[in-house]
Chains A and B, each alone.
Chain A
C-alpha cells in the first residue's frame, strides 16, 4: 500500500514470517497422507520432465542444457517402422519411425501448459465472478448467475469441437474452449462461500473504517475463500488435461504441438492401436498418472478447507 519500500515496518516483517509459518502449517496436511505425498512426488517428476524435455539454450551464458528426450520427437525414421521396445528405443517407434519415448517426454510440456494455464484462468475467472456476484448481490448477482446457468447447460465436447472448428485448432483456442466451460463450478462454489463471509462482522468492521468495495472484496474476503479456490484449481488441472486429451484424440488438437492425446489419436488413425501396444499404453498411462496425482493433491488440500475430514481417518 505504502509508496516507500526502503523502510520496512517491524510488524510487516514479522507478519511475513508468520505467513510463511502459516503456509508451512497448511502444507502440514500432507504429513502422514501417503496419497497426497505420492501426488506431489509425481507432479514434481512431471514438471521436471516437462521443463527439461527439450534442450534449453541460455544465450546469455552461452550454455545449452541437453534435453531429456533422446531423439527429436518429430524426426522421422530414427528407427524402423513400428519397432517394439528395444534398448535403442525403450518404448519402441511409431509408424513413421519416430521415437515414442521422446514423443512422450515432449508431450509432457503441452500437458503441463494446458493443465496449468487453463486451470489458472478458469479459477481466476470463476473466483472473480463468484466474488463480485455474491458481494454486490441484486441484479449483478442475477445476471452473473444466469450466465453461469447457461454455461452449465453447455456440454463440453460439442461446444469445444464447434469452437475449435470455427476459430481453428491452436493450443490457445483449445485452452480458451476449456476455460470457457471450466470456470462455472468455481464461480458457484466461491459465490456460496462469499455469501457466508459477507455476513460476518469483520466485513462490517471493514465498512466501518470506510474501506472501498474493491478493498473489502479483495483484501478481506478473498484471502478467506482462497483455499477453496486452490482446491478447485487442483481439480481443474485434472479436468483440463482430460479435456485437452479428449479434444486431441478426436483430432481437434494443435497439429504443431505434440500432446499425449494427440499421440493416441495418431495411433488410432495409423490403425496400429491393436498391435503397437508400446505406442498406446505410455500416453494413456501418463494421462492417468498425471490426473490421478493432481486429484490426490486436491483430495489432501480438501482437508485444509474442511478440517472435519482430518478426523475421519
Chain B
C-alpha cells in the first residue's frame, strides 16, 4: 500500500481515510413478529447521518460529542467494523465501501482499533502472547520465529516490560492499564498505518490515563501513524489532536484545528460544549452557555438543523426584532403549540390560578409579559388567545407562518468559516447573512 498516494481532493489535499455522506441507520422493530403485526417499518435510529470527512495522512484527528451522538458508530463504520447503510469510504485513495475478500483483508492489516473497555475487549481465554500473535497468524506474516520475536517486540513497544513476564499471563491477571497496553500491542502487531482509538482512556484510572495517552503520542510520532481519537473529553482531544470534529446527533457540525475549536468555536453547539469544559483558572471570565431541553430522539429527528430546538443562537424570523433570550423562549412555546402540547388548564392548575390566562402561559415558558417588538407581541398575543379559546390549530398556523426560522427548514449546508474552520450552521451562510447579535 506504500505506493498509494491518497486521493487528491481539489488538487491539494491527500486523505488517508475519507468518508463521503456516510450513513449508518439501525432499523427499529425488525423482529419478525412486529414486522408481521405492524408491517415493514421504515423507522431507523439515524446514528450517523450523512457525514463527510477527510483524515489527512499522519494527522491526529479527534471526534467529540456527547454520549449517543454517533461518534463511535461513525468511527467503526469508517473502518468497516459496522456495515454502513449509505455513503462511500476511501482508504489511501481506494474505495473500500464494498470491498471483500483479499481487498478487505489488506485493509484490515492497515487499519486497527483500540477499544474503550480493556476489561471486555480481551478474550479471557487467550494469553497475552496468543492474543498479540493472533493477527500475525491470521495474515500469515513471517515464519514462526519471526512472529515470536515480533510479539515480544510489540509487547515492549506498548510499554510492558519485561515482555517475557507478561507473555504467559491471562487478562484476568492484569490491571486495567496493562490490559489496555495489551490491546495496543495487538493493534500494533500488524504495523498498521491507521489507528482508531475509541475512548482509549475513559475506563482507566486517572493516574494511568496520562501514561497511556503519552504512549499513544509517542507511538504516533515514532511509527508515523494516522490516528482518530474518539472522546467526549475536549481537553484530552486538545492535548492529543491536530484537528477536532464535533458531532451532534449523527451529524458533523464543526471541523477545525484543535486550538481554534477550543479558543474560537464557531458553531453554537461547539460553543456550548466548550463552555462546559471545566477550567482551572478561577479568575477567567467566561460565560457558561446552558442548553435548554434534551437531546431529541434519534428516531424522530428535528427538521433542518438538528440543534435548533436547543440552540441559544437560533436565527430570528424576518421582519421581527427579539431579544435573543426572549426569542429562544418564544421558540420553545411555539414548538409546543405546533405539537399541540400546550394545555392552559394544566398550567392554571400548576400555578393555582383562578383562571387560565395568556400571561400564565408566557410565564410558564419564561416569555416576558411584553415583547420588545410590538409587532411580534401582537402575533404572540393573538396566538395565545386562540390557544385559550381552544383553537390550537389556528394558533399553530399563525405561529408557524409568522415566526418561521431558517434553522428549522431544509438541509443545512457546511460553510467554510475561516480557511481552516468549517461549521454546519446557517449563521455562516454568506449569501443570506443573518445578524449574529
A150 within 8 A of B: no
Contact of B105 among A10, A14, A208, A210 (CB under 8 A): A210
Cα distance A208–B183 in the bound complex, in angstroms: 12
In the complex, which range does the number of interface residues on chain B fall in? Answer: 35 or more
* B133 in contact with A11 (CB, 8 Å): yes
Contact of A208 among B113, B117, B123, B129 (CB under 8 A): B113
With known contacts A202-B122, A204-B81, A18–B127 Cβ distance under 8 A = yes
Interface 1/0 per residue, B66-97 and A, CB below 8 Å: 00000000001001010000000000000000
> A residues within 8 A CB of B32?
142
Cα distance A289–B108 in the bound complex, in angstroms: 55
Q: Which of A1-9, A166-174, A187-195, A293-301 contacts B (4 or more CB under 8 A)?
A: A1-9
* B137 in contact with A11 (CB, 8 Å): no
A63 within 8 A of B: no
Count A interface residues, CB 8 Å: 30
> A residues within 8 A CB of B288?
none
> A residues within 8 A CB of B135?
209-210
B169 → A minimal CB distance (Å)? 8
B279 within 8 A of A: no
* B115 in contact with A12 (CB, 8 Å): no
> A residues within 8 A CB of B233?
none
B132 → A minimal CB distance (Å)? 9
With known contacts A208-B79, A210-B139, A200–B167 Cβ distance under 8 A = no
* B168 in contact with A224 (CB, 8 Å): no
A223 within 8 A of B: yes
A205 within 8 A of B: yes
* A224 in contact with B124 (CB, 8 Å): yes
> B residues within 8 A CB of A55?
none
B157 → A minimal CB distance (Å)? 16
In the complex, which residues 21-57 of chain B have their Cβ closer than 8 Å to any Cβ of chain A? 32
Cα distance A2–B109 in the bound complex, in angstroms: 19
> A residues within 8 A CB of B187?
208
A207 within 8 A of B: yes
Contact of A211 among B79, B133, B138, B147 (CB under 8 A): B138
* B148 in contact with A202 (CB, 8 Å): no
Cα distance A31–B224 in the bound complex, in angstroms: 54
Cα distance A204–B124 in the bound complex, in angstroms: 14
* B167 in contact with A14 (CB, 8 Å): yes
B145 within 8 A of A: yes
> B residues within 8 A CB of A211?
134, 138
Cα distance A31–B328 in the bound complex, in angstroms: 70
Cα distance A44–B169 in the bound complex, in angstroms: 34
Interface 1/0 per residue, B226-265 and A, CB below 8 Å: 0000000000000000000000000000000000000000
- With A209-B108, A212-B138 already in contact, 17 other A-B pairs whose C-beta atoms are closer than 8 Å: A1-B137, A10-B164, A11-B133, A11-B168, A14-B129, A14-B167, A15-B127, A15-B168, A18-B170, A22-B170, A205-B123, A207-B81, A209-B186, A210-B138, A215-B138, A224-B123, A224-B125
Question: Which 7 pairs from chain A and chain B are nearest by CB?
Answer: A11-B129, A210-B108, A14-B168, A201-B121, A209-B135, A223-B125, A9-B148
Residues of B within 8 A of A (CB): 32, 76, 79, 81, 104-105, 108-109, 112-113, 115-117, 120-125, 127, 129-130, 133-135, 137-139, 143-145, 147-148, 151, 164, 167-168, 170, 183, 186-187, 190
